[in-house]
């Protein structure tokens, strides 16, 4: 029996439960919170791995990128493979694979085992973003903008919760038992997804017809801006734990700091999305990137206490830009193919997040943490002239 939900959000009357859209959104949010939490708790473990394995900044960036680049590079092929499965199965199985990666890390006794676990976890994480986004879009159809915002916010909740939880656990446990506990959480979430998500397969992804202004350079330029914005964020977060340690912070301080950044970022996604709709994409991005550069520079001169006070504000602008850019993808989608455009955009920004920290890390090894953070600030400023060039493509998509 076909139990799909129509794209306009109505039921077909073929036995689908009336709470299917809500269950779809709840399951997507749960998956997003877990997978984004997995991604960002790794920052808390970087100093621990540095001490145990004697790694430099570039080595730590490579470790981070084993997970992040695997997740980003497999977005499109993993999504095509998972499209053959029911969405319920693909999200549950991918979560099991990600949890298995943390289990391998917990059981590893070497750097090679840690690397293998990071790659396996990255493989599992590669399916979540495109499949869960599509699940929400198809469950709510034309009314999906609000639910997609809730879905994005759930990811930030995971980013805020998991790092501080891991930091607190590291105060009483070694990192391998902590990784094992995270694997157990993942398996529990996979079971919950299998129980919560509605059964049935998905229909074809929705397209947005009539928007042809994204043909050619407009969408490519948007992806470039998104990649540089992500590079700025990843570079800042790479050096932040070590900057805090230099100011006298502890591992618990680092967990608290990341929670402050990501909490501010969650609020920033809502605020910047609102501002982008009212002020326009270009003015909003110019403002957030300029404020990001200024905030990063301020981190270098402030003592620990004021630094912690600044972090939620920095998180607001550091993460808020992505909300504006994400919402612009449908406007610039080539040939109106929104589903494919999102997959390409995710690949660009996640790939940047995996590769950019290696360059920042190499620079940090040579010149120090301060220069690395200044390079991240310079990247934010480099976005300004690029986003100004988006005015014409956006005007062509939204005449009048």
What is 138-166 written as a DSSP string?
HHHGGG-HHHHHHHHHHHHHHHHHHHHHH
Model pLDDT, residue 24:
86
Q: Residue 142: pLDDT above 80?
A: no
Confidence of residue 22 (pLDDT cuts 50, 70, 90): confident
What is the pLDDT, as a whole number, of residue 62? 84
Ranges for all domains in the chain classified under CATH 1.20.1250.20? 18-204, 207-400
Tokens of 262: 């990501």
What share of the chain has pLDDT > 90, as a percent?
32
Length of the chain: 400
CA count, 13 A, side-chain hemisphere, 259: 14
**Of 59, 60, 69, 57, whose CA–CA distance to 42 is shortest?**
60
pTM strictly above 0.85:
no
Residue 23 scores a pLDDT above 90: no
- Helix 217-246, helix 338-367: angle, nearest 10: 40
Strand ranges for 17-127 from DSSP E: none
The span from the CA of 63 to the CA of 354, in Å, is 10
pLDDT bin (cut points 50, 70, 90) of residue 217 is confident
Q: What is each CA distance from 380 to 172, 234, 294, in whole angstroms?
A: 38, 11, 10
pLDDT category of residue 87 using cuts at 50, 70 and 90: confident
Q: What is the pLDDT of residues 248-277, one digit of tens each?
A: 888 778 888 888 887 888 788 767 767 776
Rounded Cα–Cα distance for residues 215 and 222 (Å):
12
Q: Mean pLDDT score of the chain, rounded to an integer?
A: 82
Distances in whole angstroms, Cα of residue 336 to Cα of each of 210, 342, 370: 7, 11, 43
Which DSSP symbol is given to 126? Answer: T
Residue 186 has pLDDT above 90, yes or no: yes
CATH 1.10.300.10 fits 18-204, yes or no: no
Domain 207-400 has CATH 1.20.1250.20: yes
Arithmetic mean of pLDDT, 38-63 = 85
Residues 6+ apart with CB under 8 A from 248: 304
**How many other CB atoms are there within 10 angstroms of residue 171's CB atom?**
10
């Amino acid at each position: 029996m076909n139990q799909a939900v129509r794209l306009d959000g109505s039921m077909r009357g073929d036995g689908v439960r009336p709470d299917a859209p809500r269950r779809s959104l709840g399951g997507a949010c749960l998956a997003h919170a877990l997978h984004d939490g997995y991604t960002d708790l790794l920052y808390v473990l970087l100093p621990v791995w540095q001490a145990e394995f004697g790694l430099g900044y570039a080595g730590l960036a490579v470790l981070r990128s084993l997970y992040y680049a695997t997740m980003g590079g497999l977005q499109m092929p993993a999504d095509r493979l998972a499209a053959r499965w029911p969405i319920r199965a693909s999200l549950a199985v991918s979560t099991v694979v990600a949890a298995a990666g943390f289990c391998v890390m917990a059981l590893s006794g070497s750097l090679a085992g840690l690397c293998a676990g990071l790659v396996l976890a990255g493989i599992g994480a590669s399916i979540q973003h495109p499949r869960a986004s599509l699940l929400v879009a198809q469950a709510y159809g034309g009314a999906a903008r609000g639910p997609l915002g809730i879905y994005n916010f759930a990811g930030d909740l995971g980013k805020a919760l998991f790092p501080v939880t891991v930091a607190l656990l590291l105060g009483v446990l070694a990192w391998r038992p902590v990784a094992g506990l995270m694997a157990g959480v993942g398996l529990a979430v996979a079971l919950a997804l299998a129980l919560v998500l509605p059964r049935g397969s998905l229909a074809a992804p929705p397209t947005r017809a009539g928007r042809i202004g994204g043909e050619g350079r407009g969408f490519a330029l948007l992806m470039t801006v998104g990649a540089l914005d992500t590079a700025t964020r990843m570079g800042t977060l790479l050096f932040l734990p070590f900057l805090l340690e230099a100011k006298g912070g502890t591992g618990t301080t680092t967990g608290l700091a990341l929670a402050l950044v990501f909490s501010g970022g969650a609020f920033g996604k809502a605020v910047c999305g609102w501002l982008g709709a009212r002020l326009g994409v270009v003015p909003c991005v110019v403002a957030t990137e300029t404020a990001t550069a200024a905030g990063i520079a301020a981190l270098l001169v402030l003592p620990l206490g004021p630094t912690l006070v600044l972090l939620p504000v920095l998180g607001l602008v550091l993460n808020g830009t992505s909300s504006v850019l994400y919402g612009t993808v449908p406007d610039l989608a080539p040939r109106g193919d929104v589903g494919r455009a999102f997959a390409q955009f995710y690949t660009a920004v996640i790939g940047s997040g995996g590769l950019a920290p290696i360059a920042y890390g190499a620079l940090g090894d040579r010149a120090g943490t301060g220069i690395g953070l200044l390079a991240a600030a310079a990247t934010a400023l480099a976005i300004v002239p690029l986003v100004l060039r988006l005015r014409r493509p956006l005007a062509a998509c939204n005449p009048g």
